[in-house]
Amino acid sequence: MLHLYQAPLFGARSNCFPLRKSFFFGFIMLVSVIAARAESPEPALTLTTALQQALDLNPSLKVYPFRDEALAGSALTANLRPAVEVGFEAENFAGSGELEGFDNAELTVSLFSVLELGEKRSARGGVISDSRTVLETQRQLESLELLAEVTRRFIDTLASQARVELAGEAVALAEQTLSVVNKRTAAGASPQAEAKRAQAALAMARLMESSERKRFEFLKVSLSALWGVTTPSFLRVDGDLFQFGDDVAFETLYERVSNNPAVQLFAAQERVKEAELRLVKTQSTSDISWSVGVRRLREVDDTALVAGLSMPLFSGRRNSGEIRRAMAERNAISVEREASVLQLHSLLFSAYSSRQQARMAVEQLKQAVIPALEDAANQTRLGYQRGRFGYLDYITASQELLESKRMLIESAAAVLTYGAEIEQLTADTVSVEQFTPNTAISGYPK
């Protein structure tokens, strides 16, 4: 009565078998899920993510907080008033006769400092303040250059990814060609040499695919290096190689050139030179040195106050050379700014024209060239199978189609690359909006 039910562990069927079975299959499914997650590729890298990681992790931008801290320390120093010093003076001691020893010495204890005139302290602070503005503009300029480089490398990687896919298409086409040639050779309709050429073409296509894959891996490493990563964690890049965004008139783009930190840097440097000129001019106003103290008179055994003032003569005349130097440096910055704006105009027009030409090439290739070559390749393949065309006609039509698709990739990449160059010249966010129109980049230079 005590053993109403005893479940066998092996052999006979028991009611606990479904439980063991469900546990076993559940365990297998859990292991499968874990393995699938371990082997599944990581999400593809987007341009927005690449830009954000570069801004957050690029080592070259990490130096600017320290430089700003250094200027903050200089600002504290520049705002200090002249130090007050204490002096001790002894006279008439260690001599001969009555002045032997220290008993007849006259002692003076005094304080002395400099009374700054001409608002020198304010001028020093102005130089430091404008220098911090220059530093911030330099940070924006380097950030903009970094983002443009990230965009260019992302476009190169995206184009390489498309070339890998095209190389795979070329391999598939070469395999199809070899199959067709083998059938004709077996039927005695084509010589054995054509089969050998088709085999060599397939080997070359596979070699080209391997080369494109190696190039793609290199470009991924080059891209991830911009945020300090030597082994990329992404397998692909996510972007549309043929999404170009809306065209903007050249005049509108040129108006934005003034927003370029390279132009603003000249303006900031010019303000620094103005501040340095004001500081140099303050040196023409002489400072007054003063002192006050107490002297002990040994002869009358009494004390008395002593005071003094001093001022250098002809300091304005002696400072005229420094004023001329500071004025020349300020004027040179203004001329350099004008030359830089002209150079930016030339670079912008070149990028704008090249982008328009590349975009026109993309449209022609997509709408006219590639469709016609696809029809020609299909007709030539069917004609070759029926004996109406030779092997050279068949291969030439296929190669022309592949070459036009490769040219399409290169032209599309050129459109995006020139767009990134325009972005850098106008300090705009053209490329970011093209790839991810609804995503913002924190820290993007304004």
pLDDT in tens, 99-123: 555 566 677 788 877 777 777 778 8
pLDDT mean across residues, the chain? 80
Torsion angles phi and psi, residue 115, rounded to 5: -100, 105
Q: Is there a contact between 8 and 399 (Cβ–Cβ < 8 Å)?
A: no
Counted domains in the chain: 1
* pLDDT number for residue 103: 61
Q: Which tokens hold the place of 396?
A: 């030439």
pLDDT in tens, 195-239: 999 999 999 999 999 999 999 999 999 999 999 898 998 999 999
* Rounded Cα distance, 319 and 275, in Å: 16
Q: Give the list of residues 6+ apart from residue 360 with CB closer than 8 angstroms, or none.
A: none
Beta strands in 11-58 (DSSP E): 45-46
Q: Which tokens hold the place of 364?
A: 């022609």
Percent of the chain beyond pLDDT 90? 36
Count of H helices and E strands in the chain?
Answer: 12, 6
Q: Give the list of residues 6+ apart from residue 52 with CB closer than 8 angstroms, or none.
A: 441, 442, 443
Claim: this prediction has a pTM higher than 0.85: no
Task: Please tell me the total number of residues recorded for the chain in this structure.
Answer: 446
Domain hosting 337: range is 44-81+116-284+319-435
- pLDDT-derived band at 16 (thresholds 50, 70, 90) equals very low
Of 74-78, 255-259, 392-396, give the range with the top mean pLDDT: 392-396
Question: Does residue 354 lie within any of the structural domains?
Answer: yes
Question: Does residue 23 lie within any of the structural domains?
Answer: no
* Rounded Cα distance, 428 and 72, in Å: 30
* pLDDT number for residue 175: 95
Average pLDDT over every residue of 59-75: 84
- pLDDT-derived band at 427 (thresholds 50, 70, 90) equals confident
Is 50 exceeded by the pLDDT of residue 418?
A: yes
Is 60 exceeded by the pLDDT of residue 431?
A: no
Question: Does residue 213 lie within any of the structural domains?
Answer: yes
Percent of the chain beyond pLDDT 70? 81
CATH of the domain at 425: 1.20.1600.10
Average pLDDT over every residue of 312-337: 80
Letter string b/e over residues 135-144, b meaning 16 or more CB atoms within 10 A of that residue's CB: bbbbbbbbbb
The long-range contacts involving 86-95, CB below 8 angstroms and separated by at least 24 positions, are 86/110, 86/111, 87/111, 87/112, 87/291, 87/293, 92/298
* pLDDT number for residue 8: 37
- pLDDT-derived band at 98 (thresholds 50, 70, 90) equals low
